[in-house]
Structure 1
């Protein structure tokens, strides 16, 4: 079995060359299915993990529950796992210590709380705390600094935040909410960090994003949402008409 730092180095190396493509998992079973499909790493979705616990995203899941879920996911797969830890659950160092103990080798750390964009200096301190915790633990953690400027704030400040986050110790810049090719190209050109974008229907293809220079491509909670939508549809059909057509592939 690979050591944790070997997995961390694998994850870091996957950001070079062809884009790292991450169909996000939400529990141990989905992680195993995604690994079996050929994924070279597993990324979690905090929304999906929260939904799997029967609670809402953005504050519905606590640190202890999140770490417990990640421990099961890491134990279920042999590839590197990078975890969505939201904004650190109010205790970045403690959360990073917990997820490292669970076997995680990368984290997403976002710069908004309660759907409000934080001051970039607040997020700089989060990134520094995450890096310090990882260094103390002896793990070469890959920090994916998420900025929500395109979701909740001023889009013009994205590259300024990227520079600040890079200086604080981040390894990758994650900008959800961006789908336009021209904007993505500008972010790739201007960011000091490799770019991660979140995709879905209507976004450029993986091949097109590779040509634009994107380093990492993720789906967020899209697969989780589709899985639960199918469960709802199939259950309603069974309970009403007594048929099973929703389950026909």
Structure 2
């Protein structure tokens, strides 16, 4: 497991500016297989997509079901050597050692941990979050690649300073990567410079492409629940065709 985590960690470094690490977000075993067969060597599960596939609103899936879903995704692509990192939201209130143990049991090599409280959305105190990340790092050693999400932009603060403060604290706590979700593209490079860590950016419809995000400072690009929503829109179109007596375009 440590070797796999080291391999995944290495994928974040030494990349050309227009070649960030692109991590599609599978929500179940079948979508994971599709991404693996397309040639992606690593995947990042989105909590929103996985939750929806399990019949829950984002942020409400029971942790046991989330870990089980991650394990199925890992199992679906393990034989191909595809690495998986998992979105674990705020850690579900689990003690750091239990969180790490349950993650490693799934076979995943990394995780996202966000600094908003699940349910309330309240931003966690930055030092409190840094202490928690440090405890996760101590429990995991080098067996988990920790992507520390910074939610200041998501919560409406558009300034660089608060996000940078949090990013620096999380870097000092042992995070491998910072994820300032919804950060303006022009702030990706200052965040990378200021934290000294690879920065994860989220690609969105109508926004910069993954390659453009790389040139703007992102070392890693994910998609949140966007790929799931795009797929579900196709299912909705097919359902409408069927309801109207038309042959579904996908057949």
Provide structure 2 residue ranges, at least 5 long, that are not aligned to the other structure: none
Q: Is the CA contact (8 Å cut-off) linking 2:22 and 2:222 kept in structure 1?
A: yes
Partner of 1:204: 208
Q: Which moved more, 1:218-227 or 1:112-121?
A: 112-121
Q: Which runs of 5+ in 1 are unaligned?
A: none
SS of 2:89's partner is coil
Q: How has the CA–CA distance of structure 1 residues 200 and 166 changed in structure 2, closer, same or farther, with 3 Å as cutoff?
A: same
Residue aligning to 1:217: 221
Contact 1:63 1:95 in 2 (8 A): no
Return the match for 1:108 from 101, 107, 112: 112
**Greater Cα shift, 166-175 or 122-131:** 122-131
> Residues 185-237 of structure 1: CA distance to partner in whole angstroms, max 9, x if unpaired?
32222222111100112222222222233210111110101111211221122
TM-score, scaled to structure 1: 0.90
Alignment of 1:65-80 (within 5 A): 65-77=65-77, 78-80=81-83
Deviations 1:124-173 (A, max 9, x none): 132123212213xxx52110000101011533301111110011111100
Trace 1:180-191 onto structure 2 (pairs within 5 A).
180=185, 182-191=186-195
Note closer, same or farther for the CA distance 1:50–1:208 as it changes in structure 2 (3 Å cut).
same
1:174 aligned residue (149, 155, 179): 179
TM-score (norm: length of structure 2): 0.90
Between 214-223 and 227-236, the greater mean CA deviation after superposition: 227-236
Q: CA deviation at 1:120?
A: 0.7
- Give 3-state SS (helix, strand or coil) of 1:112's partner: coil
Indicate which of 10, 13, 21 corresponds to 1:16: 13
Shift of 1:101: 1.1
How many residue pairs get aligned? The number is: 239
Residue 64 of structure 2 corresponds to: 64
Match of 2:131 in 1: 125
Q: How does 1:81-100 map to 2 (within 5 A)?
A: 81-93=84-96, 94-100=98-104
- CA–CA separation in structure 1 for the residues paired with 2:130 and 2:47: 21
